Amino acid sequence: MKKFAGCSLVVSFAPTGSNILKNNGRFPLVISRRNKFSYRLFSTRVLKAQLHDKPGVVSRYYLPPWFSVAPMMEWTDNHYRTLARLISKHAWLYTEMVAAETIVHQKDNLDRFLAYSPDQHPIVLQIGGSNIENLAKATELANAYCYDEINLNCGCPSPKVAGHGCFGVSLMLNPKFVAEAMSAIAATTNVPVSVKCRIGVDDHDSYSELCDFIYQVSSFSPTKHFIIHSRKALLNGISPAENRSIPPLKYEYFYGLLRDFPDLTFTINGGITSVEEVLAAREAGAHGVMVGRAAYTNPWHILGHVDSAIYGTPSPDLTRRQVLEKYLTYGESVMGKYGRRPTMRDIVKPLLNLFHSEPGNGLWKRKADAAFKNCTTVESFFEETLVAIPDSVLDSPVAKLPPGRRDLFANIDNLLPPPYKTREEEAVVICA
């Protein structure tokens, strides 16, 4: 049992009597029923009493967020995070963005939106919203779930979000509001608070405007950690997906911030697709590196190297068969927990990328398509589909670190924007 400052974590879902592990044959064999329901979500019912006196107090013993998996709506749900944690012990995991209004209005139904397994620590809750009272209230309600950090979304360009009520990336245009919101959020929790933002919005894309935002938010609120998506957002005309590929990456802005705000910590995000690139970003000085799409679409080859290559610690050292076995126990225990959800499809979805570019991957996906129509349990889904994957793939550990652009930031110092001067500093220069 792990002991944390504010939470006593007693939950485990690792099966002890697995038959799959002992068998070199096909998937799956007889599943140990003993532990089938041992996977419990991090429920307020379990923890409220312990946390009552110390809202938001959680462990400080995790390794730092040198590597994190980005918040991604409909992707980084409980199921994906469960899979991710089986592959990497130390990666920091972000939730999908949860709207503050959802938390406030669903306060009697919070487990559905906020519960997670304690194995998922270190975990950051990302919230979104434009109403300071609701952001603070939502944070307060989330305290019972012991998230390790609260992050405010100031980067989402979706018209559903940014277009209504100054939410998501639109907030970057109002740093005073963000500072007030972050102060209100921080006042209701003891865990660190952070902001995830873009490098700019529409024509507000100069380095000094980005610095003004960082300066104001960090000076007038307790926010000392910023996650910087190194592309600006275009609010008119392009989709959220295009907003993640069309505006050019400007890593030089990120490294400019590192130089100009030495008292803050910055995590770089955007376009990083391999562990070699993560290492390159860290070598160039980034405090942390956040990976989104690559960690979702290729979890085995990205997350499988995080513990050893980035944290210098032993990896969980599981094969994919062992990961799937543990995941099966999880999946069967949560299926239909909230009425019809999660469905088998919800639960299996993050697994569909586990065999990225491996022999049998195409056939496994085709079999999965068919199995979704006639399988009602994760176990039967595995039985029907995993015959497509060779044993050599299922039973091999994570391969050698694949090549990547280790020189991605080699030239960054020559590209940095001119040093930032605050308006006060500029005024002093003009008057002098």
Ligand X SMILES: Cc1cc2nc3c(=O)[nH]c(=O)nc-3n(C[C@H](O)[C@H](O)[C@H](O)COP(=O)(O)O)c2cc1C
d(CA 157, CA 144): 30
71 contacts ligand X (rule: CB under 6 A): yes
Q: Is the Cβ of residue 72 or residue 93 nearer to ligand X in the bound state?
A: 72
Which of 81, 90, 196, 367 is the binder for ligand X (CB under 6 A)? 196
Whichever of 271 and 304 has its CB closer to ligand X, that residue is 271
User: How distant, in Å, are the alpha carbons of 170, 227, 231, 254 from that of 413?
Assistant: 30, 20, 19, 11
> Is 200 a binder of ligand X (CB under 6 A)?
no
Cβ-contact 87, 301 below 8 angstroms: no
Two structure tokens written together for 396: 């091999």
Site for ligand X in 135-174 (CB under 6 A): 153, 155-156
Nearer to ligand X, 7 or 156 (CB): 156
State which residue, 182 or 272, has the beta carbon closest to ligand X.
272
Angle between helices 175-187 and 207-219 (to 10 degrees): 30
Nearest distance from residue 72's CB to ligand X, in Å? 4
Check if 146 is active-site. no
**Residue 78 lies near ligand X (rule: CB under 6 A):** no
Taking CB positions, which residue lies at the least distance from ligand X? 292
Query: Which region, judged by CB under 6 A, interacts with ligand X, from 72-80, 113-121, 252-260, 363-371?
Result: 72-80
Minimum Å gap between C-beta 156 and ligand X is: 5
Residues 352-411 that bind ligand X (CB under 6 A): none
Task: Considering the complex, state which of residue 57 and residue 294 has its C-beta at the smaller distance from ligand X.
Answer: 294
- Residue whose CB is less far from ligand X, 273 or 329: 273
Helix%, strand%, coil% for the chain, nearest 5: 45, 10, 45
In one-letter notation, the amino acid at residue 15 is P
Pick between residue 127 and residue 184 the one whose CB is nearest to ligand X. 127
Cβ atoms of 230 and 269 within 8 Å: the answer is yes
The per-residue b/e assignment along 207-246, b for 16 or more CB within 10 angstroms, e otherwise, is bbbbbbbbbbbbeebebbbbbbbbbbbbbeeeebeebbee
Show contacts with ligand X in window 263-282 (CB under 6 A): 269-272
Using CB under 6 A as the binding rule, whether residue 102 contacts ligand X is answered as no
| 244 contributes a contact to ligand X by CB under 6 A | yes
* 291 in contact with ligand X (CB under 6 A): yes
Judged by CB under 6 A, the number of residues near ligand X is: 22
- DSSP string over 215-265: HHHHHSSS--EEEEESS-B--SSS-TTGGGTSSPP-HHHHHHHHHH-TTSE
HSE on the CB side for 56, CA within 13 Å? 21
Task: Quote the least distance from Cβ 150 to ligand X, whole Å.
Answer: 13
CB of 206 to ligand X, least distance (A): 21
Residue with tokens 């039973």: 395
Of the candidates 7, 154, 156, 375, the residue annotated as catalytic is 156
Minimum Å distance from CB 293 to ligand X? 4
Of the pair 294, 354, the CB lying nearest ligand X is at 294
Measure Cα distances from 254 to 175, 215, 231, 259, 264 in Å.
Answer: 18, 14, 10, 9, 12
Count the alpha carbons within 13 Å of 352 in the hemisphere toward its beta carbon: 16
| SS3 (DSSP) at 197 | strand
265-269 and 225-229: which strand pairing?
parallel
Find out whether 66 and 101 touch, Cβ atoms under 8 Å.
Answer: no
Minimal distance, residue 425 CB to ligand X, in Å: 31
Q: Which tokens sit at 186?
A: 């921080």
Distance of CA 55 to the CA centre of its chain: 23
- We find the least distance from the C-beta atom of residue 73 to ligand X, in angstroms, to be 4
* CB 155 to ligand X: min, Å: 5
Pairing state of beta strands 2-3 and 8-9?
antiparallel
Stretch that binds ligand X, among 30-38, 54-62, 114-122, 289-297 (CB under 6 A): 289-297
Residue from 82, 117, 126, 143 that binds ligand X (CB under 6 A)? 126
Letters for 31-70 (x = contact with ligand X by CB under 6 A, - = none) are: ---------------------------------------x
Q: Which residues bind ligand X (CB under 6 A)?
A: 70-73, 75, 96-97, 126, 153, 155-156, 196, 229, 244, 269-272, 291-294
Task: Cite the active site residues.
Answer: 156
